[in-house]
Amino acid sequence: MRVLYRINGKLPLIGHIAFGIIDRGTNLLQVRPTSLCPLSCIFCSVDAGPKSRMRAAEFIVSPKYLVEWFAWAVRAKRLEAAHAYLDAVGDPLTHPQIVELVRRLKSTGLALTVALETHGALLTEKLAEELDESGLDRINLSIDSLDASKAKLLSGTPWFNIDRVVKVAEFIASSLKMDLLVAPVWVPGYNDDEIPRIIEWALKIGAGKRWPPLGIQKYEAHKYGRKVSGVKPLSWEEFYRRLRAWEREYGVKLVLSPRDFGIEKSRRIPYAFEVGERITVRVVGVGWLRGQWLGVSEGRVVTLVGSARDPPVGSRLQAEVLRNRDNIYIARVFDL
């Protein structure tokens, strides 16, 4: 049984990869409202969904609190506004107040654009209309196969209905203001023949009114993700070679860059700790993955590792910072 954190205050929203705000040194801020996912995709890089073997906790953040931290992050980066990208180590549409979150982000005047990524399992025409009315600028929809059987296999979910997702996608492209970007994950040996079909379909329905219509993703085998048996990830050289060949064939841009989305480098949120620094951390509870604990120090969330036993909640521990990249902190606890 996983712990579910409902975060509406007290816990900082900078420092963790599974929830809150992530700044990677550009004018785009990743906004992660939830870690939940209804699917168990066989290629999932973060082991999400019901079949997860690594997760010990999930997170849902209140829209009001998340937007407060988005505004804080924009100011900390000394920007007038930033792109808000709603993504997740799961699926953002699992958040029960996702429409309110989009509306709140737009109402701040600090969001250059608001975009959202999803595999579409929970997407309906009604929800798409509500997101459109709330001001969502773009939806990045990961459709990995147009074939029903392959889609079920890739999603690791027998009930997943790709025909329904396709219908909603076509409704978005034809009837709503928001843009549609189709973002399949290419898994060699599984959906090679599907990628050209998806390109043709995306162009046919009119995806990409303001931004590129497609954003093909390369399958990667991540340390804590699911690895597809017998599949070796393509080299980046081969991946881009194939994309350029399809660009010539279909007359559409497939090799994308941050500039295509108005993303530019910017000042980072200042780091709170350096790697190797010894810090005092207050324990909050179990962490996102097994063998981890959640802690807080100096206005940052810190993932604690390396303790042989569960540290008591509320206790203060000494730990050494192992990682601080992008203001995401992992620290090793000294022996209790």
Give the chain's domains with CATH numbers. 3-261 (3.20.20.70), 278-333 (2.40.50.140)
pLDDT of 138 over the 80 cut: yes
Query: Once rounded to an integer, what is the mean pLDDT over residues 55-65?
Result: 98
pLDDT of 308 over the 90 cut: no
User: What's the pLDDT band for 335 if we cut at 50, 70, 90?
Assistant: low
Q: What is the pLDDT of residue 77?
A: 98
DSSP 47-107: --STT-SSBSEEEEE-HHHHHHHHHHHHHHTT-S-EEEEE--SS-GGGSTTHHHHHHHHHH
- Which phi and psi (to 5°) does residue 21 adopt? -115, 135
Q: Which amino acid is at 5?
A: Y
pLDDT of 146 over the 60 cut: yes
pLDDT of 106 over the 80 cut: yes
Q: What is the pLDDT of residue 309?
A: 85
Per the structure block, which two tokens stand in for 184? 């399949």
pLDDT of 217 over the 90 cut: yes
Q: What is the pLDDT of residue 1?
A: 84
Write down the pTM of the prediction: 0.96
Q: What is the pLDDT of residue 297?
A: 98
What average pLDDT is seen over the chain? 97
pLDDT of 336 over the 80 cut: no
Q: Nearest to residue 223, comparing CAs of 17, 16, 45?
A: 45
User: What's the pLDDT band for 112 if we cut at 50, 70, 90?
Assistant: very high
User: What's the pLDDT band for 66 if we cut at 50, 70, 90?
Assistant: very high
